């Protein structure tokens, strides 16, 4: 066991912000600093970011939080990042493309073409990643079709995690979790899939070496000097934010599902061996622990849109308080919450959103409530599929939206399960720190790391009210069909 004064830095690099969080092994230190960067939409369906802006945000967040304590106490950095990003680097490790994020849907035609044949489903079952425009494999297929010159002359094709490793260590590398979200992995062999290379037109030397998620690289001296840390400090390569979210919220046992809502949202459950169910993903946390589930593109971004549209001048908290006054079910109003191309559980990149069953009596507050309920029902369709793998008796949730009582009540009611909301916005960052604790020898097991680093953080138990249960049980039979059927009708009408 390390001294009680030791501190691990959990770095969580998300879609719109980087958060650097400190966790001491005695549970006393819990500090977080964050830096934001923009998500750009230069063309319809394109959702990209400037890799250098992300790098600047990461270094800013690390430097800010390191300055708050004695930096010699920090024994290592462990990393979580958003999954499914794609960046091309030249031979000098400089970006030659923007970061194509998980939300980028430019490769719709390529995904449709693969899924029209057995190739798409086969790649899903081999890699654990649905064949969808979010997947780096499909994005690379887009480059092969539209910019073959860029595809071939680019020295390295990497993900967001890999870019952060370049920034911090100067090494081009990836790890099993990020690789498992690329669509390029052979899950059984734990190596790049030769068929995926053939489909994308890549050479094997254009993809990075796959490390275990607990492997360690040294912090580069110039970066160490910039952020106030020691050169050579261990950098645990870490995992994807989804699997680490389960670890950070304590959803690591059979019967417990992890639910997170940030810009997007997801429901996931730990499995000991890779298990692929139609409509779900399966990604690695470690070589021995995998996470099955589904991610929705339309999570917290729906709340922001609802506030801007139906409560202009208010913040999200005020908009949510207004929605609390509307009864469960929004008096018949239903939102199909597809503001951007949706992922689980339909994996339909053309699907569109709508409000249904609108009546004159419906107010702006009804629309806000219906929007939140729409997101919750979309997440419920994932839970329904997860039950094919195992019973789900408890949901452990994290995300800023759960500061709102109406979000807690609606999600608990729609899921019809006890909901435990874990404190703070540190879910994936804490998960990274826990994984780092195991990698650095502080603890022997992930569970021991969770018990050590979670500290005395409060948890909120949300029970399902009888009134909400009755309303939402009735809606369980109607709303998922509306989400599916109208979404596909919207695609036909585009």
The Cβ-side half-sphere exposure at 155, using a 13 Å CA radius, reads 10
Count of residues in the chain: 494
Q: What is the pLDDT of residue 273?
A: 84
Q: What is the pLDDT of residue 2?
A: 67
Please write the tens of the pLDDT for every residue from 383-396.
Answer: 999 988 889 999 99
State which CATH number among 3.30.420.40, 3.30.310.80, 2.40.50.100, 3.40.250.10 fits the domain covering 7-240.
3.30.420.40
User: Looking at the predicted structure, is the pLDDT value of residue 356 above 60?
Assistant: yes
List, in sequence order, every residue forming a beta bridge with 49; answer none if it has no partner.
Answer: 99
| Band of pLDDT at residue 487, cut at 50, 70 and 90 | low
User: DSSP secondary structure string, 21-90?
Assistant: EEEETTS--EEEEEEE-PPB-SSTT--EE-HHHHHHHHHHHHHHHHTTS-GGGEEEEEEEE-SS-BEEE-
List, in sequence order, every residue forming a beta bridge with 20; answer none if it has no partner.
Answer: 11, 33
User: DSSP secondary structure string, 193-250?
Assistant: -HHHHHHHT--GGGS--EE-TT-EEEPPHHHHHHHT--TT-EEEEEEEHHHHHHHHHT
User: Looking at the predicted structure, is the pLDDT value of residue 424 above 60?
Assistant: no
**Cα–Cα distance measured from residue 235 to residue 238, given in angstroms and rounded to the nearest whole number:** 9
**Cα–Cα distance measured from residue 482 to residue 341, given in angstroms and rounded to the nearest whole number:** 17
User: Looking at the predicted structure, is the pLDDT value of residue 489 above 80?
Assistant: no
Please write the tens of the pLDDT for every residue from 400-409.
Answer: 899 999 999 9
Between 483 and 297, residue with greater pLDDT: 297
Instruction: Report the Cα 86 to chain-centroid distance in Å.
Output: 15
User: Looking at the predicted structure, is the pLDDT value of residue 1 above 60?
Assistant: no
Please write the tens of the pLDDT for every residue from 194-229.
Answer: 999 999 999 999 999 999 999 999 999 999 999 999
**Cα–Cα distance measured from residue 494 to residue 491, given in angstroms and rounded to the nearest whole number:** 5
User: Looking at the predicted structure, is the pLDDT value of residue 278 above 90?
Assistant: no
Between 484 and 165, residue with greater pLDDT: 165
312-321 long-range CB contacts below 8 Å, 24 or more apart?
316/401, 316/404, 317/403, 317/404, 319/368, 320/368, 320/372, 320/404, 320/405, 320/406, 320/407, 321/404, 321/406
259 in helix, strand or coil?
strand
Give pTM, 2 decimals.
0.89
**Cα–Cα distance measured from residue 343 to residue 358, given in angstroms and rounded to the nearest whole number:** 26
Q: What is the pLDDT of residue 493?
A: 42
**Cα–Cα distance measured from residue 73 to residue 318, given in angstroms and rounded to the nearest whole number:** 41
450 in helix, strand or coil?
helix
Between 345 and 417, residue with greater pLDDT: 417
| Band of pLDDT at residue 446, cut at 50, 70 and 90 | very high
CA distances from 270 to 58, 276, 294, 484 (A): 29, 12, 12, 27
Helix (H) or strand (E) segment spanning residue 328 = none
CB 120 within 8 A of CB 131: yes
Mean pLDDT of 91-113: 95
User: Any idea which of 189-203, 257-271, 372-386, 466-480 has the lowest mean pLDDT?
Assistant: 466-480
User: Any idea which of 92-96, 127-131, 338-342 has the lowest mean pLDDT?
Assistant: 338-342
- What tokens were used for 235? 């950098």
Please write the tens of the pLDDT for every residue from 251-275.
Answer: 998 889 999 998 889 999 998 888 8
CB 210 within 8 A of CB 191: yes
Give the closest residue to 377 by CA, choosing from 486, 466, 454.
Answer: 486
**Cα–Cα distance measured from residue 45 to residue 67, given in angstroms and rounded to the nearest whole number:** 40
What is the pLDDT of the chain when averaged over all its residues? Answer: 92
Largest Cα span, the chain: 65
Quickly count helices (H) and strands (E) in the chain.
Answer: 18, 23
Q: What is the pLDDT of residue 341?
A: 77
Helix (H) or strand (E) segment spanning residue 152 = helix 148-153
User: Looking at the predicted structure, is the pLDDT value of residue 303 above 80?
Assistant: yes
In the block, residue with structure tokens 């000098």: 92
User: Any idea which of 59-68, 150-159, 415-424 has the lowest mean pLDDT?
Assistant: 415-424
Mean pLDDT of 343-361: 85
Q: What is the pLDDT of residue 398?
A: 87
Burial state string for 142-173 with b = 16 or more CB within 10 A and e = fewer than 16 = bbbeeeeeebeebebbbbbbbbbbbbbbebbb
User: Looking at the predicted structure, is the pLDDT value of residue 94 above 80?
Assistant: yes
């Amino acid at each position: 066991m390390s001294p009680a004064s030791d501190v691990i830095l959990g770095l969580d690099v998300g879609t719109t912000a980087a958060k650097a969080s400190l966790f001491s092994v005695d549970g006393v230190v819990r500090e977080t600093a964050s830096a934001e960067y923009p998500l750009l939409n230069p063309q319809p369906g394109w959702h990209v970011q400037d890799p250098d802006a992300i790098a600047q945000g990461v270094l800013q967040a690390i430097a800010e939080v390191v300055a708050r304590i004695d930096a010699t106490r920090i024994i290592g950095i462990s990393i979580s990042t958003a999954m499914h990003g794609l960046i091309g680097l030249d031979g000098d490790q400089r970006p030659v493309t923007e970061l194509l994020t998980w939300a980028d849907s430019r490769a719709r035609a390529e995904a449709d073409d693969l899924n029209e044949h057995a190739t798409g489903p086969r790649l899903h079952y081999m890699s654990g990643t649905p064949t969808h425009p979010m997947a780096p494999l499909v994005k690379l297929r887009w480059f092969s079709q539209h910019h073959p010159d860029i595809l071939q002359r680019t020295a390295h094709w990497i993900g967001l995690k890999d870019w952060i490793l370049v920034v911090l260590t100067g090494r081009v590398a990836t790890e099993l979790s990020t690789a498992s979200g690329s669509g390029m992995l052979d899950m059984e062999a734990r190596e790049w899939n030769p068929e995926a290379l053939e489909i994308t037109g890549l050479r094997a030397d254009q993809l990075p070496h796959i490390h275990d998620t607990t492997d360690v690289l040294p912090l580069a001296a110039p970066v160490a000097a910039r952020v106030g840390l020691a050169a050579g400090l261990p950098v645990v390569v870490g995992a994807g934010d989804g699997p680490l979210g389960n670890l950070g919220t304590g959803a690591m046992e059979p019967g417990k599902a992890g639910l997170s809502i940030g810009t997007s949202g997801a429901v996931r459950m730990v499995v000991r061996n890779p298990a692929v169910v139609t409509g779900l993903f399966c990604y690695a946390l470690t070589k021995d622990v995998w996470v099955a589930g589904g991610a929705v593109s339309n999570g917290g971004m729906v709340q922001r849109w609802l506030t801007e549209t139906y409560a202009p001048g208010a913040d999200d908290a005020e908009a949510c308080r207004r929605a609390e006054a509307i009864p469960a079910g929004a008096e018949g109003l239903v939102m199909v919450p597809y503001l951007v191309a949706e992922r689980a559980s339909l994996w339909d990149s053309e699907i569109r959103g709508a409000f249904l069953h609108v009546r004159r009596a419906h107010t702006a507050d009804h629309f806000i409530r219906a929007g939140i309920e729409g997101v919750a029902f979309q997440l419920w369709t994932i839970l329904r599929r997860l039950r094919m793998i195992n019973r789900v008796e408890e949901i452990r949730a994290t995300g800023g939206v759960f500061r709102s009582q109406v979000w807690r009540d609606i999600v608990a009611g729609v899921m019809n399960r006890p909901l435990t909301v874990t404190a703070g916005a540190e879910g994936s960052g804490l998960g990274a720190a826990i994984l780092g604790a195991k990698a650095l020898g502080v603890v022997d097991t992930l569970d021991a790391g969770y018990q050590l680093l979670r500290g005395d953080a409060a948890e909120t138990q949300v029970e399902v009210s009888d009134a909400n249960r009755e309303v939402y049980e009735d809606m369980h039979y109607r709303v998922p069909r509306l989400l599916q059927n109208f979404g596909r009708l919207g695609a036909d009408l585009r």
